[in-house]
């Protein structure tokens, strides 16, 4: 996508004196190129399916029951030209193995890791904007990282 989050508008059940941490969050994200994304997540939803859907101008990608550390589930691609479905067997150690192997590769080959320090900083910025937006009930701008 090549875009970063520029604005966050959030509604949560947290960020109050009685409930400082959220269990349910709904976010609208405006990306630097104008793309708008929506995310809803929480631990209060009964019988959660853990799907992730990405809609594009030519189709969609659906990850069914794939938002868990076991990295299992189904990948479904639907468009006018491509229609496929691939099942991935869950592996409880997959995420840990992937992180360790990626770190070792970055150190051994003197490469940037898959997720850089800037990626981590950006994640903190977006999370902070989510909390601020939920507290103030306003859209919060996320400033570009200057380095």
pLDDT the model gives residue 48: 74
Asked whether residue 83 is assigned to any structural domain, the reply reads yes
Q: How many CB atoms lie within 10 A of CB 97?
A: 11
Domain residues for the domain of 72 are 5-141
pTM value surpassing 0.95: no
Residue 44: alpha-carbon gap to chain centroid = 18
Q: What is the rounded CA–CA span in Å between residue 38 and residue 29? A: 6
If one compares 65 and 80, the residue with the highest pLDDT of the two is: 80
Asked whether residue 146 is assigned to any structural domain, the reply reads no
Instruction: Name the token pair of 87.
Output: 């099942």
CATH number for the domain spanning 120: value is 3.30.360.10
pLDDT the model gives residue 1: 64
Is pLDDT above 90 for 84? yes
If one compares 118 and 42, the residue with the highest pLDDT of the two is: 118
Lowest mean pLDDT among 6-20, 61-75, 102-116: 61-75
pLDDT band at 116; cut points 50, 70, 90: confident
Number of domains in the chain: 1
Q: How many CB atoms lie within 10 A of CB 108?
A: 8
Asked whether residue 43 is assigned to any structural domain, the reply reads yes
Is pLDDT above 80 for 82? yes
CB 66 within 8 A of CB 48: no
Name the nearest CA neighbour of 54 among 64, 46, 45, 44. 64
pLDDT the model gives residue 138: 98
Asked whether residue 147 is assigned to any structural domain, the reply reads no
Instruction: Name the token pair of 135.
Output: 């507290």
60 - beta bridge partners? Answer: 55, 78
Asked whether residue 63 is assigned to any structural domain, the reply reads yes
Give pLDDT tens digits for 15-52. 888 988 888 999 999 999 999 999 988 877 777 777 88
CB 74 within 8 A of CB 64: yes
Q: How much of the chain, in percent, has pLDDT values that exceed 90?
A: 61
Rounded to the nearest integer, the mean pLDDT of the chain is 90
Is pLDDT above 80 for 67? no
Q: What is the rounded CA–CA span in Å between residue 47 and residue 38? A: 20
CA atoms in the 13 A half-sphere facing the CB of 66:
15
């Amino acid at each position: 996508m090549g875009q970063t989050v520029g604005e966050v508008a959030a509604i949560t059940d947290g960020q109050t004196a009685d409930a400082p941490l959220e269990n349910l969050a709904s976010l609208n994200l405006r990306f630097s190129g104008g793309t708008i994304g929506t995310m809803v997540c929480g631990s209060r939803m009964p019988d959660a399916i853990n799907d992730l859907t990405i809609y594009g101008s030519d189709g969609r990608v659906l990850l069914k029951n794939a938002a868990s550390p076991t990295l299992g589930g189904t990948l479904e691609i639907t468009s006018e030209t491509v229609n496929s479905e691939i099942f991935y067997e869950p592996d409880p150690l997959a995420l840990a193995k992937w992180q360790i192997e990626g770190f070792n590769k970055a150190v051994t080959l003197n490469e940037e890791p898959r997720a850089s320090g800037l990626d981590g900083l950006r994640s903190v910025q977006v999370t902070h904007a989510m909390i601020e937006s939920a507290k103030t009930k306003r859209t919060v701008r996320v400033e570009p990282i200057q380095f």
